[in-house]
Structure 1
């Protein structure tokens, strides 16, 4: 019974701050389970596969998101709704990341490892 509550990866946060990594993890896990096509537009997957994908996706959502998308029964619809809600992060995060990258200086860090950590973040 404890395996039912086990997450394969971190659930999507309500703020969407982990959306980009969550999307990648979800796509990889769905593909590994043979359910990757259930989230693609115009798919002809069986109702059983769609149900398996929905169980998996809902299991990896924040509780508030589960409640908000309670009536959604198609994984393709859920996937597109989440994408519409959170995929704008590239336009929000990328400019600040580029600015930080351009202004990253070794002298701002106490050690080389701290600098390397910030650089690869």
Structure 2
């Protein structure tokens, strides 16, 4: 199903070709939302903030990568 919500930046492509720009965008957006520590020092972060960050990051993945993530999770 197509992602109908507006993305803040381009989703991570299944090939990974845009990983570097995606990573930088994700880090900046998480910092702006006060969630930067979830990827910098996750042991010092509440489970609620970790969940918020995961939701945000999953929202910015290619649909096939989301499916793959679910099989691993």
Mark yes or no: TM-score above 0.5: yes
| 1:58-111 deviation digits (Å, cap 9, x = unpaired) | 000001111111144xxxxxxxxxxxxxxxxxxxxxxxxxxxxxxxxxxxxxxx
Q: Which runs of no fewer than 5 residues in structure 2 stay unpaired?
A: none
Residues 1:42 and 1:11: Cα distance change in structure 2 (over 3 Å): closer
> C-alpha root-mean-square deviation of aligned residues, in Å?
1.5
Compare the two structures and name the one with the higher helix fraction.
1
> How many aligned positions are there?
69
| Cα displacement (A) at 1:44 | 1.7
Rounded Cα–Cα distance in structure 2 between residues aligned with 1:38 and 1:7: 20
Q: Which runs of no fewer than 5 residues in structure 1 stay unpaired?
A: 73-121
* TM-score relative to the length of structure 2: 0.86
Give the equivalent residue in structure 2 for 1:58.
58
* TM-score relative to the length of structure 1: 0.53
Rounded Cα–Cα distance in structure 2 between residues aligned with 1:18 and 1:9: 11
List aligned pairs for 1:1-121, cutoff 5 A. Answer: 5-70=5-70, 71-72=72-73
Higher relative contact order (CA 8 A, sep 6+): 2
Larger Rg computed on CA atoms = 1
Q: Which runs of 4+ in 1 moved over 2 A?
A: 40-43
SS of structure 2 residue aligned to 1:6 = coil
Give the equivalent residue in structure 2 for 1:95.
none
